[in-house]
Structure 1
Amino acid sequence: MDTLQVGVLLPTSTIIPLGKSFRKGLKKAFSKTNDLKVELHFEFIGNGSPKLIEEKTRKLIDFDDIDVLVGIISNYSLAFMSKFFESINIPVLVNNLGAHVPNIKKLPKNALINSDHMWLQVWSMGHWAVNEFGNKGMIAGGVYDMAYSFSHMLDIGMKAADEKVNWSFAVSHMPEGERNISAPSVVFEFIEKDLPDFLFAFFCGEEADLFLKEYVDRGLDKKVPLIGSPYLFQSLAGLNIDLQAYTSSLHFGGKHLEELKQLADPNQNVFHLMGEETGEWLIDYSTHANPNYELKNTVRGVHNFSLLDQMEGVEVHLYKCEVKANGSVVLSEGESLQTISVEDNTIKDSLNELTSAWFNPYLSL
């Protein structure tokens, strides 16, 4: 194969430098070999809207003559634009955190997905929390975070553990001011009033830091067990608080994904990892002059989306996160949690409902 022309679609983010991290990961992978001749063509797609994705992809196809398209795109956009992606007739490798439940029937046949499957992790954690703490749960979060599939997946996960589960929710106001953040403080009135058996919090970025500090300052950490994604706890080491909370991570075939390192090392970033994995895929792909080539047994398992194949051997593992005011963070791996198949009827039925209001990938804002 001659020089591989690669189009790279990157959304922007005020929360985390995901585009820069993804690019660094790509370059790290390429630095490990001298065999790959590649030219990268970067295009920025803003918040990842279908309109911008199509516009930038057409430019990459028509002007840059790309052989393969990679980048960070949500499952929602991928399914919504299925016919368009199939029409470009080149391999597409999409990376995302999995904030949207993937719709197998609508995914383009030429697309591969490298995902953290947050939708699955939330389902598993909700199921575990009901069995561990009780059937009175609560969800609190920012407007941005709550508009993904998280609350829906948490709901069906909790109900899978106990049909009589009772849960409430609290949502912060719309973002405002120069910093464009919503004040998490408005949710605490409802948390203190309900005092649930557990709280699943959906905040990220600066809003997450504000929430966690006030959660501890109000003494709620002593009353209500706290659960969240790794992105709720990104800045723990610098918050000067004492806190115990619970989060999760995926294991593919016994291989632990590295993004939880960010809890103890802020220099680690899941998008850097995804960029490196994409680079490894491109290196392997470049040795096969076959557009239907399917790479297997990569870091995250099987990428041939056939989501059913990818989900084989996937485990959601519980983690206890303990942070001290001196900045030390200790992660303790717990049990492997129950999961759910994408072919389960509750998942299929959920795809007929509006479970998300955003096209953009999670953390792209």
Structure 2
Amino acid sequence: MKKPRLALLACAAVMAVAAFPACAQSASKLKVGLMLPYTGTYASLGNAIENGFRLYVSEQGGKLGGHEIEFYKVDDESEPSKATDNVNKLIKRDQVDVLVGTVHSGVALAMAKVAKETGTLLIVPNAGADALTGPLCAKNIWRTSFSNWQPGYATGVIAAQKGYKKAMSITWGYAAGTEAVKGFTEAFEKGGGKVVKDLTLPFPNVEFQALLTEIAAQKPDVVFAFFAGGGAVKFVKDYDAAGLRKSIPLMGSGFLTDGTLEAQGASAQGIVTSLHYADNIETPRNTAFRNKYAVTYKTMPDVYAVQGYDAAQLLHSGLTAVKGDFSKKDELYYAMGKTTIASPRGKLAFSAAHNPIQDFYIREVKGNYNVITGVAVPALADPARGCKM
């Protein structure tokens, strides 16, 4: 079984005489491969995730579970066709011990298949593809973000509670969007509503006008949208410019307005979303995190930064439990599954499928903040349909 590379010659010498075998664990470097988008629509998300991960490592004195961290980076370009080659660069060329990635669900699915085949520990800090903790679930695959079903479902609960009866959805036609819409539809129709039409366009297309015209003609009670990054900015601004913001309420998974509010400006005001994080969670843990992040990176953190931060927390928790012995994989994974993370988002536990169990908040855009107005669903767990471990 592959072990982290020894970093200190002194410790290597000690190992040679087998005097103190535990020394190897505390003195070795753990190779972490960051496979994230650093260009394109999701570039800001990838940077925030890396910043969050590095922030937690720095808070631990540059180590996780006694290991110094050696980083390797690959820009996945949010391109599924390049995903297998990119992940193999990290596993085969760089021989990383841990994979951290990614944002785009299609890319993450390819990463998971390779991780499952090679037994490489994969921690997913964003991509919500349901299959990652469903049919593709494995003891070495973990997620510190959400399943696509979760925020979609929570938003459907809110829409039904508001008394809306007829809804339309709009998203990119890829895993993240279609699965979020399924979650929304499940909860909304369980609450007495009906989704009359699902509108899609290819990722990363942002030519929304024809679909906005169709929404205006259908006149639903509410529109559910799943977009993120640059696409979310343009959609929200186009929705407003089309005159729809004041006549048809716009709701969405929280990514619609997370990390995008400054660019969306007045067009985002009043939008209601659901997510597992919000700017105004008033706890000492979140306040300390936000202050430290702001000082370190000269900008405020968003949900993506939190998910990267918690990816490092999860790894640290597992390594600490096994006293830094990365070779004890089964014990490491058992410890990770039993951990409860004190996250900036609140209490974070993990299901048997390794997906977060977490509160989903009701959030409303007020000024430059996603402000919590309540809890949509407490301790929401993904159903993990198709998971067999």
TM normalised by structure 1 equals 0.73
Shift in CA distance, 95/204, structure 1 to aligned 2, threshold 3 Å: closer
**Structure-to-structure mapping, 1:10-89, within 5 angstroms:** 10-15=36-41, 16-34=43-61, 36=63, 37-47=68-78, 49=80, 52-72=82-102, 84-89=114-119
Larger deviation: 115-124 or 18-27? 18-27
Where structure 1 has 5 or more consecutive residues not aligned to the other structure, the ranges are 352-365
The residue number in structure 2 matching 1:297 is: 340
Hey, what does 1:204 align to over in structure 2? 228
1:161 is displaced (CA, Å) by 1.4
1:99-154 Cα distance to aligned partner (Å, 9 max, x none): 54545343122222212334211112113312313221111344568853122222
What's the counterpart of residue 121 of structure 1?
Answer: 151
When structure 1 is superposed on structure 2, of 290-299 and 7-16 the one drifting more is: 7-16
Letter of the 1:156 counterpart: E
The reply on whether 1:315 has 2:315 as its aligned counterpart is no
Q: Is contact 2:177-2:227 (8 Å) kept? A: no
Other structure's SS at 1:148 match: helix
Match of 2:260 in 1: 235
Tell me the residue number matched to 1:168.
Answer: 197
1: CA distance, partners of 2:226 / 2:315: 34
Partner deviation per Cα, 1:72-125 (whole Å, 9 max, x = no partner): 266666666666423423432222242545453431222222123342111121
- Equivalent position amino acid for 1:272 in 2: A
Question: SS at 2:374's partner residue?
Answer: strand
Distance, in Å, in 1 between the alignment partners of 2:234 and 2:76 is 29
Structure having the higher Rg: 2
Structure 2 distance, partners of 1:81, 1:120, is 21
Do the aligned partners of 1:123 and 1:339 also contact (CA within 8 Å) in 2? no
SS at the partner of 2:307? helix
SS of 1:334's equivalent in the other structure is strand
Check 1:308–1:146 CA distance in 2 against 1; reply closer, same or farther (3 A cut): closer
The answer to whether the 8 A contact 1:208-1:232 is kept is yes
Report which structure shows greater RCO (CA 8 Å, sep ≥6): 1
Contact 2:97-2:120 within 8 A present in 1 as well: yes
Q: Does residue 276 of structure 1 match 2:305?
A: no
1:249 pairs with 2:287:
no
Match of 2:3 in 1: none
Shift of 1:11: 3.4
Give distance in 2, aligned partners of 1:274 and 1:158: 27
Amino acid at match of 2:100: V
Q: Which residue of 1 aligns with 2:352?
A: 306
Contact 1:185 1:211 in 2 (8 A): no
Alignment correspondent of 2:215: 191
| Corresponding residue pairs, total | 327
Instruction: Report the residue type matching 1:318 in the other structure.
Output: I
Q: Is the 8 A contact 1:10 1:45 kept in 2?
A: yes
Q: What TM-score, normalized by structure 2, do the two folds share?
A: 0.69
1:220 maps to amino acid = L
1:246–1:319 Cα contact (<8 Å) kept: yes
Question: More helix per residue: 1 or 2?
Answer: 2
Give the root-mean-square deviation of aligned CA atoms.
Answer: 3.7
Aligned-partner Cα distance in 2 for 1:109–1:330: 35
8 Å CA contact 2:156, 2:185 repeated in 1: yes
Q: 1:127, 1:159 within 8 Å by CA — same for their partners in 2?
A: no
Gaps of 5+ in 2: 1-24, 291-297
Shift of 1:274: 2.6
